[in-house]
Amino acid sequence: MMGPAHSLSGAAAWLGVGAATAGAGHPMPWPVLVVGALISAGAALAPDLDHKAATISRAFGPISRTLCEVVDKLSHAVYKATRMRGDARRSGGHRTLTHTWLWAVLIGAGASALAMTGGRWAVLGILFVHLVLAVEGLLWRMARTSSDVLVWLLGATSAWLLADILNKPGNGSDWLFSGPGQEYLWLGLPIILGALVHDIGDALTVSGCPILWPIPIGRKRWHPIGPPKGMRFRAGSWVELKVLTPVFMFLGGLGGLGALDYI
């Protein structure tokens, strides 16, 4: 799928989680709901860091372009080192390592550990990166016609304000994990969710997605998971734009209302 649909699906997924946790007796404070939806929207773009034309690869200028090259080479090296007899030869790393459940869990766990041990500046850094990506995905028309500096300023300002709001008592820094030193442990959850939703979205396209790596399936370790080929679509096609995008918006609104106990 394309960037806007990925971001919408990530935000909708977190809002749906908010509705589910509210129903289970662990409602999210509204700052957690908002911040989590924005982080998940941004994280839903992150797996494409292995592709030089992706939104995330150009979102932070030369820093993200360089990181993209590193991730692409790393992904390709891991693919070559772990592929089985049934896996095809390939020349790049797109839709390999960063499009797996293991990558999603490791990145989310790393973010949680960083947020808990790194203090306010670590939280601000995580928020900044994901809020910039959320702007690039959800407000892509505005982002495409604005300079990168303006998008970065919007991300930095939003990160600063939201971090202050979260840090106030009762606003959610210790949501779900309330033990000593566990503040912001939950911050990795929307990152994991966003990455997994991205992978599921890509699995619906014609190429599929090796979400289950490194679990072997038949003679392949990088088996492209997806529905039957007749049910798949091309990225950017009318199915994505006219069907899935409105569905994500509807489900996100429904989840938000449920999370806030309006329905």
Question: Are 93 and 75 within 8 A, CB to CB?
Answer: yes
Q: What is the pLDDT of residue 240?
A: 84
Per-residue pLDDT of 105-137, as tens digits, reads 999 999 999 999 998 899 999 999 999 999 998
d(CA 35, CA 101): 23
From the list 160, 147, 124, the residue with the least C-alpha distance to 61 is: 147
pTM: 0.94
Distance of CA 140 to the CA centre of its chain: 16
Low-confidence ranges of the chain (pLDDT < 70): none
Q: What is the pLDDT of residue 139?
A: 87
Q: What is the pLDDT of residue 20?
A: 95
From the list 83, 89, 93, 156, the residue with the least C-alpha distance to 126 is: 156
